[in-house]
Structure 1
Amino acid sequence: MIDFDEGTYSVITPSGAAHLLAKEYALLTFLHRHQGQTFTREHLLNKVWGMEYPSERTVDDHIYRLRKKLVSLPEFELQTVRGTGYRLTVHEPEGLRMRPSLRDPELQAAVDQLFQKYHLLGQGESMLTLAAQQEVLGIEVASFYSKYLHFLEGDLAYFVHDQITPVQDQLYWISLLYGIIVQPEEALQICEKVLQSGLLSPRHHREMYILNIIDMFAENGRFAEAEERLIETHRVVKEEELSGFHIPVATAELYLYILENRPDRITSKMEQIRLMLEDTPYLREMIRFHFVAGIWQYAQGLIQEAVSSVDQGMRVYYESKSTPHLLISLGQFMRYIDRNPRPAHEKEIRALRQKLSRIFADLNEKHQYDVLLDQAREKIMNFLASV
């Protein structure tokens, strides 16, 4: 069994121990969490050094020193992938790990069901905690959820640098995150191209076609197309009994009605969603609902109520940890404020806009979206060009 001691920056294995410097320890633990994956120097700089702005040579130097310190620990194989970057392979001798649960199909099926339920309820923090403890608990996270958790965290860098996931899945995850961050015009262009490519799996194509694109149509002023797609969406959801889609579809309708300024429909739709969330309190959808409700309050000049809704949405986010839903909500709210100024409440609105901008800036600082967007677009275009 391999143990990491953050207090002493040490790694302990059955073969011995190695005592590292702080950044060597951070580099090793990051590679260990993502063992088997290849990372470029740039990606390692972003993830391990963050905002310190060292040179790529820094990564090479740390890899060199780390290899020297790990030479007595055969469990670790730190490899150079020519022309790409570095990869850590971990070898654990047979018999060292006494985890019979890993070979227990009944337990693993129960773990899969637990992840499915957490996913449905939007309990991202629960999923991340369980995944982080899988070695100790003797469980294995299914392949889909190991990818989904990176999406949940808004980890665009993971998908941009991923060399393992099949193209159809990479294209889906990258295009969703990319479309959430960029302006609505470009997001819709990308979404339509991806749907036309035929590269997505049937499941991902369906979700993008009947759900993700609705907000994009609405934000681009293509209201008639959004309403036509909603008719198709309701048909598919009913015929295929997609119960988990009811609240996100209703929220997409609510946002469309706000942009169309249809107060009669907004009131009834908000009440419908409130009742649905009381019955099935899905956290991801609660984030979206609080922010969209805040947009409607802003539209009515109820600025303090809008601020309160944002605060409620953030409280739910800290439990859900669904960064994509937060990013969508922030972008939509900031764009609505910019398009619909209210001079009578200028001071309050400036504070609200700064609050939203600060939340987005923190996410950008953490995930380096401004650095990664060009790489993400290039990867999407390369996938589409291969058709």
Structure 2
Amino acid sequence: MGWRLDEDAQAIQGRDAVVPLLPKEFRLLAFLCSHPNQAFRREQLLDAVWPGETPVDRTVDDHVYRLRRKLSMAGADASALQTVRGHGYRLALPSVAPNGQVVRGDFARSAQIALDLSFQASLSTDNPLLADPMYRDQVRQMFYQYVLFGHGVGIDILRENPAIFGIQRDTELRLGAWDKCGDMRAILADSDATFTEKSFWLLSYYHHIGNDEAKAWAFWRRAIESYMLPAHHHLEAICFALPDCYLRLGRLDLARQAISDTLATSLAMDYAGYIPLAKLQAVELELHARDFAEAKRKLVIAKEQLTITPWQRELANASILEGLLHAARGDGRAADALLRRGIQLLWDSGIVSHVIIRLRDILFFLTRVLDLPELRRPFSAMWADLSNERDFPGLAKELEHLLDRHLPPLREDSISAERYPGVIVPVSSDIPLTIPK
């Protein structure tokens, strides 16, 4: 049995007692409940709970201490109000399926279900704007801008106000929002979305948390050859997932050609969102190839691009790549500072999936390309914390089974493109991808 927040009484109602909360204690716990499993820095909590006031960081610590004590008094597991080393605090709550059943764990079940019911109840409010295609497009653009500029709080606002923004009615945005907060369990539990609609996120998550690089590549190949992915995800898989697979498998020749094609295509088709990613991926290629002079040259070019498109995810990635370049040159102190800065930028954005991707990149490079155990130690600890919190080993096995069972098998008559062995390059009019000769 868990506990619930009694809004009228501003109290915790647990299995042993009803424990009253002070106003700020209630607001802090309610805020953490509405953002389950998401870590917040002290200053973020101050802004959320004490807006316009001037408390000190210690204020948060004192309130967390009192909340843990009151949770215990109510008969709840106070350890779920967790300290995130070097970052701040989070409230660990289980994932809940749409039918209200706890998917994993049973802590605070009643509180989480209450939040879910509140969310569902808000769907009954009809907003005439939700029927307007132009408004829906504006909401999508807002979501994409929040992703580009690393504004995870904005994504939360879209997700938590369905009567206004209707994001729950748009499968693409609903799944994308869960992906950005790193909640694969919510995607798996989404019974309103088909496997095909979920497939890109399932593939991406397995790609980054699984330990079998060859199997990840085989899964991508099956999805791409069967044309089962939506057009824009098909394009993204070819332009970014495949080159990343090549890098991890040590096929630098194929990675070089794929990245060159992606950049040329992005420029030719004016895919502004792809250009900085492709330029940064070109830097990563040179690091894997151990051509550090060329990596430095391409990093300068990529950073010039970021003066035009100063998106937080790309700025963080540039800092990480610069840190890896310093690591390759033996400057461990500068490398550590730049790597930490990049990861902190991603934590600050509140987009957990970006943290997972870049931590995996750091650990792969510092393990497989350069063997630098001292430098990778703090990032290994960060990964272990995320893995334990989100059960990466269990999720990887579950995703592997799901993908292997549902992805179409490779066709015997599949046509292999020379540059993308086993991959059919899309040529239909609704997938505007041109591979330069």
TM-score scaled by length of structure 2: 0.65
Structure 1 161/269 Cα, relative in aligned 2: closer, same or farther at 3 Å? same
Q: Does 1:140 align with 2:169?
A: no
Residue 339 of structure 1 corresponds to 368
Q: Is the 8 A contact 2:151 2:349 kept in 1?
A: yes
For residue 140 of structure 1, what is the amino acid of its counterpart? G
The 10-residue stretch of structure 1 (118-127 or 102-111) with the greater mean CA deviation from structure 2: 102-111
Give distance in 2, aligned partners of 1:93 and 1:321.
Answer: 25
Select the residue among 396, 402, 415 that pairs with 1:379: 402
For residue 345 of structure 2, what is the amino acid of its counterpart? V
Q: Is the 8 A contact 2:146 2:155 kept in 1?
A: yes
- Secondary structure at the aligned position of 2:273 is classed as helix
Q: Does 1:177 align with 2:205?
A: yes
What's the CA shift for 1:209?
0.6
Q: What does residue range 173-212 of structure 1 map to in structure 2 within 5 Å? A: 173-183=201-211, 184-212=213-241
Structure 1 103/202 Cα, relative in aligned 2: closer, same or farther at 3 Å? closer
Q: Does 1:49 align with 2:107?
A: yes
Give distance in 1, aligned partners of 2:6 and 2:241.
Answer: 41
What's the CA shift for 1:318?
2.2
What's the CA shift for 1:242?
0.8
- Secondary structure at the aligned position of 2:11 is classed as coil
Q: Does 1:358 align with 2:361?
A: no
Q: Is the 8 A contact 1:171 1:200 kept in 2?
A: yes
Q: Is the 8 A contact 1:191 1:213 kept in 2?
A: yes
Select the residue among 357, 361, 370 that pairs with 2:393: 370
Structure 2 residue ranges without an equivalent (≥5): 14-73, 81-92, 411-437
Q: What does residue range 1-387 of structure 1 map to in structure 2 within 5 Å? A: 5=7, 7-9=10-12, 37-38=98-99, 41=102, 43-45=103-105, 48-49=106-107, 90=120, 110-132=138-160, 134=161, 138-141=164-167, 142-183=170-211, 184-340=213-369, 349-385=372-408
For residue 154 of structure 1, what is the amino acid of its counterpart? G
Structure 1 337/240 Cα, relative in aligned 2: closer, same or farther at 3 Å? same
Give distance in 2, aligned partners of 1:257 and 1:243.
Answer: 23
- Secondary structure at the aligned position of 2:330 is classed as coil
For residue 229 of structure 1, what is the amino acid of its counterpart? A
For residue 244 of structure 2, what is the amino acid of its counterpart? D
**CA displacement 1:87-145 (0-9 Å, x = unmatched):** x9955797xx596766777766544432232233332332223433x15x833224322
Structure 1 23/104 Cα, relative in aligned 2: closer, same or farther at 3 Å? farther
Q: Is the 8 A contact 1:288 1:326 kept in 2?
A: no
Q: Where does structure 1 differ by over 4 angstroms across 4 or more consecutive aligned residues? A: 21-24, 38-41, 88-94, 97-110
Q: CA RMSD in A?
A: 3.7
What's the CA shift for 1:331?
1.8
- Secondary structure at the aligned position of 1:164 is classed as coil
Relative to total residues, which structure has the larger helix share, 1 or 2? 1
Number of residue pairs matched by the alignment:
329
Q: Is the 8 A contact 1:292 1:329 kept in 2?
A: no
Structure 1 residue ranges without an equivalent (≥5): 11-20, 51-58, 77-87, 343-348
What's the CA shift for 1:221?
1.1
Structure 1 369/138 Cα, relative in aligned 2: closer, same or farther at 3 Å? same
Q: In percent, how many aligned pairs have the same letter? A: 17
Give distance in 1, aligned partners of 2:219 and 2:381.
Answer: 27
Structure 1 114/162 Cα, relative in aligned 2: closer, same or farther at 3 Å? closer
